[in-house]
Amino acid sequence: MSSKSNVIALKSILYKEINRFMRIWVQTLVPPAITISLYFVIFGELIGSRIGQMGGFDYMSFIVPGLIMMSVITNSYSNVASSFFSAKWQRNVEEMLVAPVPNWVIVAGYVGGGMARGILVGAIVTLVSLLFVDIQIHNIWVIVVTVSLTSATFALGGLINAIFAGSFDDISIIPTFILTPLTYLGGVFYSITLLPDFWQGVSQINPIVYMVNAFRYGFLGISDVSLTLSFLVLGAFILTLFAIAMTLITKGIGLRS
Amino acid sequence: MDNALEISGLKKVYKGGFTALKGIDLTVKQGDFFALLGPNGAGKSTTIGVITSLVNKSAGKVKVFGHDIDQELEKAKSFLGLVPQEFNFNQFETLLTILVNQAGYYGVERPLAFKRAEKYLKQLDLWEKRNDSGRMLSGGMKRRLMIARALMHEPQMLILDEPTAGVDIELRRSMWEFLRELNEQGITIILTTHYLEEAEMLCRNIAIIDSGVIVEDTDMKSLLSKLDQETIVFDIDKIAQAPKINEFTSRLIDDHTLEVDVKKSQLINHIFSQLSEQHINVHSMRNKSNRLEELFVSLVGSGQKVNQESK
C-alpha cells in the first residue's frame, strides 16, 4: 500500500481503539479516578501525614508522580491486552489480516490506542490529584517524553500478552503476577535509596523504577537514578518489545493457522 | 492477464500432521462465477484461508491477478474481498463503524467510505440498522453485513464461504440476484456452498474438492452432461401394485408415488405412454434430487476411493 493508504489504515485502527475505550468509559476511565482518590486518602492523608518528608518533599507530593505513572502503566497495558485479545476471540482481527495493512501499522495502531488511554487516564488522575495536593512542574518535556515512552512500552507488552493469550484468564495473569508487584516495588511509594544495598541493587533491574523516577524528576526535579539511563532503558524496552511484536504478528503466532 | 486466481501444488499440513490440502491446482478466470464444492472438512475453507492469508501454506504457489502472495502479499490482498463462513465482525460496534473502518484498512478515505457504506447498506436492506450494533442483527442480516463489508474497498474478486448458510429461501434468492449483478459488473466471484442448487444456478465453472484433492474441475455444463442417469419422481393416481414399465427401472414408493430411473439415452415420453396404457394418470413430476447433487455424491465417493488407494 502507498504511504497515504497506510496513514488512513493507521487512523482507522486508532479511531476504532479510541472509540472502544470511550464507548465503555465507565469501565475504562472512571475506575482509575476512584482508585487514585482512595490512594490519596489512605496513603496521603492518613498514613502520609505520619511519614513526614521524603526526598525533601511532603509524602503526598512525593507519591503523586508515581501514582499517575501507575495508572498510565496499568491502563496502556490492559487496553491493548483486552482489545487485541477480544479481536482475536471475536475473530474480527481477521478484518485487518485479510486487508493489505502492513504489520507495523497494526502494531502502531494498537499501541497508539493503548497510549491514548494511558495518557488520558494519566491526565484524569492528575486532575484528581489537584484536589488533594498542589502539583509543581519542574520540566514539562521530561514529563511528556516519559509518559509517552512508558505508555508505548506497556502497550507493546499488552499486545504481546494478547497475542499469546488463549483465554481471557491469560490476559490477567501478567498484570496480576508481574506488573502489579513490579509497580509496587518500583519506587512509587518510597525512594529506593531507603532500601538496604542488596535490595537497591535488585531494584536496578526493575524497569518501572526508571520510569517512575524519570517522571518524578519531571515534576519535582529529584530522581534516584540518572535521567539519561532512564531514557536509555525505556528506549531499549520499546525497541525490543516492538521487534518481538512484529516477529509474532509476521509469523502469525496465535493469529494464523 | 486472464486469470483472477492461479493455484499450483498447494499443500497444507496443520500442526499435528493433518493434511488438509494435498497439492491442489486450480485456476479461476477473470470475471468468472466459480463454485468450489466439497463435503465438510474437504479443504474448501483451508484453500480460501491460504488465498486470503489467514492460513499459512505448507507448499505451493498462489497468485491473485498475477501477484504472488509470497512476493506481493499486500498487492494481492488489495484485489480480494472475503465473506467468511463464521461471523467475524465486532459484535459491539455499529454497522456503519464496522464498514467505514474496514474501508480504512484498504486506504479508503472516511468521506468516501461513508458514501459506500450507505450505498451497500441500502442495497442489502440494512440502512435502517446502520446505528445498531452487530449483535442486534438476525442471522440473515449478519450475512448481508459481511457481504457489504467485503465490498467496501470495491474488490475485483469476491470470495464467499457458505454465504447463504442459515438464510431463508426468500432472502437467499435476493442474495443470489445481488451476487449475479456484482458478477455482471465484472467482479470475479468464488463461492463455496452446501446448496448445490445455488452452485448450479449461479456458477459457470466448478471445482469439487474432497479430502484435500481436486476431484473435478470443469465448466458446469460439461459436468452436468456427465450425469448419465436421473431419477424422476411421478405423483400418480392411487394404485395398489407397481406398474410395469419396460426398459426402465421403477419403484413404487407409496400408493401415490412412483420413482423411475431414466438414462440419458432414454425418453420420458416412453414412461408416459406406458403409464397411459395402464390407465395411470400422472399429476406432477420432478427430479428426485438436484442434478449436481447426484454428480457430487458420485464424485466425492470416487475421491474417497482415490485417497484410500493412495494411502
The CATH number that applies at residue B138 is: 3.40.50.300
Query: Can you give the residue range of the structural domain that contains B131?
Result: 3-225
Contact A12, B105 (CB under 8 A): yes
The phi, psi pair for A102, rounded to 5°, reads: -60, 150
User: Which of the listed residues B189, B206, B225 is the one where a domain comes to its end?
Assistant: B225
Judged by CB atoms closer than 8 Å, whether chains meet at A95 and B101 is answered as: yes
Contact partners, residue B221, CB within 8 Å, separation at least 6: none
Does the pLDDT of residue B302 top 60, yes or no?
Answer: no
Q: Do B233 and B221 belong together in one domain?
A: no
C-alpha cell at B139: 442471522
The C-alpha atoms of residue B182 and residue B31 are separated, in whole angstroms, by: 10
User: Which of the listed residues B225, B241, B274 is the one where a domain comes to its end?
Assistant: B225
**Is B304 within a domain?**
no
Q: pTM for the whole thing? A: 0.83
* Interface check A25 vs B, CB under 8 A: no
The C-alpha atoms of residue A222 and residue B270 are separated, in whole angstroms, by: 104
Amino acid at site B181 = E
Does the pLDDT of residue B309 top 70, yes or no?
Answer: no
Domain count, chain B: 2
Contact partners, residue A46, CB within 8 Å, separation at least 6: none
Q: Do B218 and B240 belong together in one domain?
A: no
Residues of chain A with pLDDT under 70: 1
User: In the sheet where B19-29 sits, what is the strand order?
Assistant: B19-29, B3-13, B59-64, B67-68
Q: Do B182 and B285 belong together in one domain?
A: no
Judged by CB atoms closer than 8 Å, whether chains meet at B107 and A1 is answered as: yes
Q: Do B195 and B254 belong together in one domain?
A: no
Q: Do B37 and B181 belong together in one domain?
A: yes
Q: Do B172 and B189 belong together in one domain?
A: yes
* Interface check A15 vs B, CB under 8 A: yes
pLDDT, tens digit (0-9, with 9 covering 90-100), for A116-174: 999 999 999 999 988 888 888 899 999 999 999 999 999 999 999 999 998 888 888 88
* Interface check B58 vs A, CB under 8 A: no
- For residue B235, the SS3 value is strand
Contacts of B109 in chain A (CB under 8 A): 8
Judged by CB atoms closer than 8 Å, whether chains meet at B106 and A100 is answered as: yes
The C-alpha atoms of residue A145 and residue A151 are separated, in whole angstroms, by: 10
Closest-CA distance of chain B to residue A256, Å? 5
Contacts of B74 in chain A (CB under 8 A): 1, 100-102
**Is B301 within a domain?**
no
Q: Provide the strand spans (E) within A53-148.
A: 53-54, 57-58
Q: Residue range B170-189: average pLDDT?
A: 90
- Burial class from Cβ neighbours inside 10 Å (0-12, 13-18, 19+) for residue A16 reads buried
The C-alpha atoms of residue B281 and residue A42 are separated, in whole angstroms, by: 95
Q: Do B208 and B233 belong together in one domain?
A: no
ipTM tops 0.90:
no
Q: Do B155 and B270 belong together in one domain?
A: no
The C-alpha atoms of residue A146 and residue A211 are separated, in whole angstroms, by: 7
Q: Do B30 and B113 belong together in one domain?
A: yes
CATH number reported for the structural domain that contains residue B278 in this entry = 3.30.70.1560
